[in-house]
Chain A
Amino acid sequence: MKRRDFLKAVTAAVALPEAFVSLPSFAADTIKVGILHSLSGTMAISETALKETALMTIAEINANGGVMGKMLEPVVVDPASNWPLFAEKARQLLTQDKVAVVFGCWTSVSRKSVLPVFKELNGLLFYPVQYEGEELERNVFYTGAAPNQQAIPAVEYLMSKDGGSVERFVLLGTDYVYPRTTNKILRAFLKSRGVTDADIMEEYTPFGHSDYQTIIAKIKKFASEGKKTAVISTINGDSNVPFYKELGNAGLKATDVPVMAFSVGEEELRGVDTKPLVGHLAAWNYFMSLKNPENDKFINMYRDWAKKRNLPNADKVVTNDPMEATYIGINMWKQAVEKAKTTDVDKVIEAMAGQTFKAPSGFVVKMDEKNHHLHKPVFIGEIRPDGQFNVVWKSKGLIKAQPWSPYIPGNEKKKDEPDSN
């Protein structure tokens, strides 16, 4: 046999059975679902845990018999914290792997980059992270918080007596779309509450900034002008570790100048000595320290999963809000598919309206009938010496999302539901 013929034969032998095996299995037994989270690059610190949560939830669903008798088959891709690559990988998931749904994205810029793909190919994306709002897409379900489910209640708490009757605010963030938009909303909100521009300081740092000396000195100075001051932090990613280290070392205590963070959870605090940070705050829709049976189950399930998968530091893994949102999203999608009796995107979107799920936060969260966002509870927690959060305030019941913030001019005319295409 000539060499070339041999090669051809081998290729054919390998390729053919695979084609025979994979085609029927795709059609009959499994439903493919895509997982689109950065497993490398700057956002890996946060997104890796979401991939694990998604895989765990899928494994749980499969162990309970799958969806409509079919097993879910996860397709994991790594967009590597590279925003254009997100769009490319999304296209690959939808056209090549033909997934029924995609769970993914963290930063708003990655979500914005995949939106055109999902619209063009009529795909379905579940986005699990709190964000700045100002968006409502038919092809996306947002299981994280809109500004009125996190930022606004947090600032209201700070202005209340228990929050310290704060009158002066430092808006500190990483320089990109989410912090800038959130701070625009907050500035308008604070103005509506009588806070003047002189009492608001806005500061931005680049992604990955690691020297917070000057900023802490500025905050100290700003705080010594006769009014109770607080910091609203929208710092994202691993910059938070040097920020909190500096904060602790500089002796800026929570009883004097509290820092309220929107992107810092249990996961981000893992690398920090939290003893000097006791009392600084975070606002979320879920905390690991919440005590209820659903949360116990969720935490134990993730711990077992981490041990089984041999994740690094498996004995010390923590759960956080975007992980909970991922868990809710996948389960709600399953319920919607079972209701629609098909994975067809249009029918599932219809069936998602009004879905409810008993979430690890201890509340039965509900998908809004129209606006693709969840009705969620809001919690405000203070950092404990062990890196967990003590809940010091919670909303009375669920809060409906307002993706179009009423504090941005022009939004009052926008509809509370996506345009059908």
Chain B
Amino acid sequence: MNFIISHLLSLLLLLVTTSAAAALDPAVLRDLASDDSDKKIAAIGELLASGDKQAEAVLRAMNDNALFVANDRLFYRVDGKALDAATGAAFPDAPDYADSVVVNNRVRGKLQNALAAFQLFNPDRDARLAAAKELQSNIDSSLIPVLKKALTLEIDPQIKKLLVLAHAQAKLHSPDPKERLVAVRTLSESNSAEVKSLLLSLLQKNGDTYAEPDPTVREAALAAIKSIESHLAWGEALSNVFSGLSLGSILLLAALGLAITYGVMGVINMAHGELLMVGAYTTYVVQNIFRTHFPDLADYYVIAAIPVAFVVAALVGMVLERLVIRHLYGRPLDTLLATWGISLILIQAARVLFGPQNVEVRNPDWMSGSIEVLANVVLPWNRVIIIGFAVGVLALVWLLLSKTRLGLYVRAVTQNRSMASCVGVHTGRIDMLAFGLGSGIAGLGGVALSQISNVGPDMGQGYIVDSFMVVVLGGVGQLAGAVWAALGMGILTKLIEGWTGAVIAKILILVFIILFIQKRPQGLFALKGRAVYGGV
């Protein structure tokens, strides 16, 4: 072990000494800036082979679009400073408008692999791991020497495993059929879809000849593909369930507020979608305030937006209730028209205040990217966090409704309004508070929506139908019903979508709900006991 570390150190030392000694070959640099992608790729290979620190800096700048050509000489910019590509010394009188070296996808694949290859000798384990992960696609034979060297030096088993796979990929087109056979057998250990694709490409027929001439290698490839596919099948099922859960959690957040307002007061609130919009725009405003006033904390604006959105949406809801809706209790058709009018007013207000275009709400860094559970199960962070958020909101609402006095009153009014009034519950106040609560939860839903879909004046319109479907399917006045309905609709949609496509899936879900309501008008869960509706 000590031996290996000292080996590593001596190699690093070697890298440092070479970089101090010589400037990069101008011919290679010229090829790097040529219009021909083949030349560029060859130049990248040579720079990688040199192992030079300066070469790494140049390649990194190239990847960042910061490598420029001026009068046949290359320079790059790091932190606002212009540096000579050949030596890394300051580059005086660099023109402000120089053409950057164009990198297309083909070149970028090689470039990123080369940069990762440099990192394979980084003393930091995480950097090496990231590099090894990067080196799992677009591997060609030019990387063999680097991978070999890294394999002899690497001590971490996880990284080593990845490097073995990368090395096997590079060897797939080796002229020696025995080496190819070994490579294919090694790759059967992999569980990535890219490797499967790579192995399948060996079995492609071009006229009468296969891409892989040796039948034993082809057989081994077939066996390897089978083994990889069995790994992948699990992942696929898991991803399907996850996307269903994710859609379900979003539907739940959108519909939960409605479950309270519609369930408790029987108000058909067509402006519910606009309360989601209010929540989303509040998130946008909070984001902007953080950007201008607390740039250091800008990544945490979402957390601050949660209570603010709740309060703002709840206030809007309560104002609506006091001004309009309370005068229309017991007249569902009038409420429907009035709230629809309100929704139009709110949409137009958003248009006047924020403009007709969608506004930009950026995911904070900790909500971007994804977590890799299995090789082909990649769960985006924003969706994972929203599922957690939905669970949290649900728990809060449940606690509020079942453990507090307000919740008790709300439930009493839901079950029998006149009886509750008789025993001294101030139903008018409860109505206002319940409506405010429902609206506030819609505001929370808006915060979640702002992280995955568009924030614009019309955004609520897209959710109002889905929300009503969830509430009706779940059974009016039932929290548990809304939960099951949202999850069921989410998973069902995703299953059908995978099979028929999004357009047909939407139609089928609608048909299914209509049939279900025909069969069971009270929804999944019905209120038991002497519930009285419309008895205001």
18 A-B pairs with C-beta separation under 8 A? A39-B356, A40-B351, A45-B358, A45-B456, A204-B503, A213-B246, A215-B497, A220-B376, A224-B232, A226-B199, A227-B197, A227-B204, A241-B358, A251-B370, A278-B108, A279-B105, A312-B354, A392-B102
What are the residues of chain B within 8 A of A390 when measuring CB–CB? 65, 100, 102-103
6 additional A-B pairs beyond A214-B502, A215-B502, A217-B243, beta carbons within 8 Å, are: A203-B501, A221-B236, A226-B198, A227-B200, A250-B378, A278-B108
A238 within 8 A of B: yes
Contact B357 A45 (CB under 8 A): yes
Docked-complex contact A224 and B108, CB < 8 angstroms: no
> Complex: how many Å from CA A312 to CA B351?
11
**Interface segment, A82-90, A138-146, A183-191, A254-262?**
A254-262
B201 and A226 within 8 A (CB)? yes
Contacting B at CB under 8 A, from A374-405, are 382, 384-385, 390-392
Q: Is B95 an interface residue (CB 8 A)?
A: no
Q: With A249-B381, A390-B103 in contact, is A40–B356 under 8 Å at CB?
A: yes
CB-CB under 8 A from B105, the residues of chain A are 163-164, 254-255, 258, 279, 281, 382
Q: How far is the CA of A245 from the CA of B502 in the complex (A)?
A: 18
Does residue A61 face the partner (Cβ distance < 8 Å to B)?
Answer: no
CB distance from A382 to the nearest CB of B (A): 6
Chain B positions within 8 Å of A384 at CB level:
65
B108–A255 touching, CB < 8 Å:
yes
Q: Is the CB of A208 within 8 A of B462?
A: yes
Q: In the complex, are the beta carbons of B462 and A271 less than 8 A apart?
A: no
Residues of A within 8 A of B382 (CB): 245, 249
CB distance from B264 to the nearest CB of A (A): 29
A162 at interface, CB cutoff 8 A? yes
CB neighbours (8 Å) of A385 from chain B are 64-65
A202-226: contact bitstring with B at CB < 8 Å (1 yes, 0 no)? Answer: 0111101111011101101101111
Q: Does residue B215 face the partner (Cβ distance < 8 Å to A)? A: no
Complex contacts, B383 vs chain A, CB 8 Å = 213, 249
B25 beta carbon closer than 8 Å to chain A: no
Given contacts A214-B497, A250-B378, A385-B65, contact A224 B452 (CB under 8 A): no
Chain B residues numbered 1-42 whose CB sits less than 8 Å from any CB in chain A: 37
Contact partners of A241 in chain B: CB under 8 A: 358, 453-454
| CB-CB under 8 A for A255 and B240, given A215-B502, A238-B454 | no
Interface size on A (CB < 8 Å)?
62
Bitwise, A171-198 to B at CB < 8 A (1) or not (0) is 0000100000000000000000000000
Q: Taking beta carbons and an 8 Å cutoff, which residues of B are in contact with A? A: 37, 64-65, 97, 99-100, 102-106, 108-109, 112, 137-138, 193-194, 196-201, 203-204, 232, 236, 239-240, 243, 246-247, 250, 351, 354-363, 368-370, 372, 376, 378, 380-383, 452-454, 456-458, 462, 494, 497-498, 501-503, 506
Instruction: Using CB atoms, name the residue of chain A closest to B348.
Output: A40
A213 and B369: CB pair below 8 A? Answer: no
Contacts from A to B (Cβ < 8 Å):
39-42, 44-45, 48, 161-164, 175, 203-206, 208-211, 213-215, 217-218, 220-221, 223-227, 238, 241-242, 245-246, 248-251, 254-256, 258, 270-273, 276, 278-279, 281, 291, 311-312, 382, 384-385, 390-392
Number of A-B residue pairs at CB separation under 8 A? 167
Complex contact A255–B138 (CB within 8 A):
yes
In the complex, A367 Cα to B165 Cα: how many Å? 56
Cβ contact of A225, chosen from B65, B97, B108, B200, cutoff 8 A: B200
User: Shortest Cβ distance from A366 into chain B, in angstroms?
Assistant: 27
Task: Give the complex CA separation of A272 and B196 in angstroms.
Answer: 32
- Cβ-closest chain A residue relative to B453: A210
Q: How far is the CA of A248 from the CA of B502 in the complex (A)?
A: 21
Interface-central residue, A39, A209, A224, A391, by most chain B CB under 10 Å: A224
Residues of B within 8 A of A214 (CB): 240, 243, 494, 497-498, 502
Which of B100, B138, B452 contacts A210 (CB under 8 A)?
B452
For A312, the closest partner residue in chain B by CB is B355
Asked if A224 and B194 sit within 8 Å, CB to CB, the answer is yes
Are A273 and B362 closer than 8 Å at their CB atoms?
A: yes
Closest 9 CB pairs of A and B: A226-B200, A249-B380, A224-B193, A213-B243, A210-B453, A255-B109, A44-B356, A271-B360, A312-B355
Q: Check if B102 sits within 8 Å of A391, measured CB to CB.
A: yes
* Complexed CA–CA distance, A164 and B137 (Å): 14
Asked if A205 and B502 sit within 8 Å, CB to CB, the answer is yes
Chain A: minimal CB distance from B313 (Å): 20
Contacts of A203 in B (CB 8 A): 501-502
Q: How far is the CB of B491 from chain A (nearest CB, A)?
A: 11
Are B380 and A271 in contact (CB-based, < 8 A)? no
Question: What's the least CB distance linking A207 to chain B, in Å?
Answer: 10
User: Which residue of chain B is the closest to A175 with respect to CB atoms?
Assistant: B503
Q: Per a CB cutoff under 8 Å, which of A45, A210, A255, A271 touches B112?
A: A255
A246 and B380 contacting across the interface, CB-CB below 8 Å: yes
